[in-house]
Structure 1
Amino acid sequence: MSESNATDSTSPSTFILLGIPGWEAAHFWISFPFCAMYITALLGNITILYIVKTEPSLHVPMYYFLCMLAVTDLALCTSILPKTLSIFWFNSREIDFAACLTQMFFLHCFTAMESGILVAMALDRYVAICDPLRHSTILTNAAVSKISLAIALRSALLTLPYPILARQLRYCRTTIILHSYCQNMAVVSLACSDIRLSNYYALFVVFFVTALDVAFITSSYTQILRAIFSLPTKDARLKTFGTCGSHLCAILAFYIPALFSFLTYRFGSNVPQYFHILLSNIYLLAPPVLNPVIYGVRTRQIQDRLLRLFTHKGT
């Protein structure tokens, strides 16, 4: 290969996203549940943001973190769904190389942010239950701001090497991505140069972010459960544990699809390609759709504010 050709192949002008390979004929029909999930995520998370903003009693650390979670969920689903729907509806499969790397950065960055926010919410529950008298002095507005900044910086700094490493690779085989969005491994697997560094770094981020976050959450809830079981009455134990219910459901909605997606991608060599892609989409769409429902159903303050909102509109 000549030097000029190698240079050209290093930076292709566009990639082609296939959507869900093998299910092209069903793309139009698949688009409707995807669109419904996107609209549900938009309406649900915007409603959460509005309620917390307009209800002074919710201006406390737990709901500040919930607002961060809602903003992250909005950004996460918006980073992939519009392009995915354009593939399903209009067969608009081309994506500019720079746009593909940008999408790669944002979807992985917001995924890492989601995990970090769940850790921050676990910290809030730990302090509120294990050291309630100091909750207001430990988790001040300044502390919440610093935690939020640290989560954003950690996510951005850990994700930035993804597009940088992908940009350095040579793409001389094909520019067809067997996916509905520019997921890191789906892109770098197209390269004809050595991708071991990208693979190692991706594994490092998975274990550094996910493993450490899960370990911190597990440690926090171990201490929380000890504090709950030390309470004198069953009613007190149930009431205290109930304050953690929404957060635990949000944790399950995020980490369980993530675990299945990771395991099937790494070890499911016999799993059909379309199943990989559907699972990876569910992994990114489930938390934005479910989190507002979880907190709306399980949080009394949000329920009361919603009821007052609709009652006021009806009168």
Structure 2
Amino acid sequence: DTVLERSLMAVSRNAGKGEGEGPLGLLSNHAYAVLDVRSLPDSGHRLVLVRDPWGKGTFAGQWRKLSEMWKLHPTAEKAVGYVPDEGTGAFWMSFEELVQHMTTLHVCRIFPSNYHSLSVPSEWSSRSAGGPPEEGGGWFRNPQFRLSVATSCKVVISVVQYDPKVPGRGHRTVPAGLVVLRARKGAAPVRAWEVSDDLVTARADPRMGRETSVSARLQGGTLYFVVPYTSTEGSEGAFILRCYSPSMVELQRVPPPVVAEVRSEWLGHYAGGRRPNPTWLKNPQILMTSANCDVDCVVQLERTG
């Protein structure tokens, strides 16, 4: 994937809460920058150069500072440019140790200068926190965005939440995901009302973290809907939707749906049963009209008692 070329990378070990020392002196819930990757020509060992941004701590792995491994493989020092320096926070570790003890690979993509990018702030709040599609109900109430590209290309879409550590903002991070849906051919819906497998172009399930992203190949001239959602209905939070594309891209916020609620009940004379029961017409009935225009409409029935 050419998008990953020259990207910044980091690794971390997720365990419990807070930053604490784990195996080999590695800190948990703490990011280490990945600076270099080398394969030793003589032994075949694969080494990864990582750095603790704090510039302190002692790594206790196989290829730690002044380890016997450097003496057993004298060509390794020259091959990787190893210098047992103090105070930089950088150290070499075997690829096997990295896979065993690190749980997450973080990739910060650096897009070319000719890429088009758009950012739209939004939020899940009150009625717009519709939850995941699996819960049904009001999924369609989540914030939605119409997306199209001028020519077919691969697009990167991210949902970024604000840093809760920044004082004064009052934001909190919630597990978030997103789905990209293709509009049916020949249709021009106002918004997406349901998730159908044949229309899903890309999807990222909810995860706890400040950013959730997907890469999707979109067809030029085709309408898509981007729908960010939280792991549970009613979870509120602010976010920014970002889109990166090598082609001209159009991103529009879909107006929130108009929601009308009517409470009623089946009781006595008004419990008419189902068709073809002759008393069916006695069931509660609600009249719906639109103001001089065609509209997309979804009707939901929810039992409250």
**Shorter-chain TM-score: which interval?**
under 0.3
TM-score, length-scaled by structure 2: 0.22
Larger strand proportion, structure 1 or 2? Answer: 2
TM-score, length-scaled by structure 1: 0.22
Structure number with bigger Rg: 2
Larger helix proportion, structure 1 or 2? Answer: 1
Q: Higher relative CO (CA 8 A, sep ≥ 6), structure 1 or 2?
A: 1
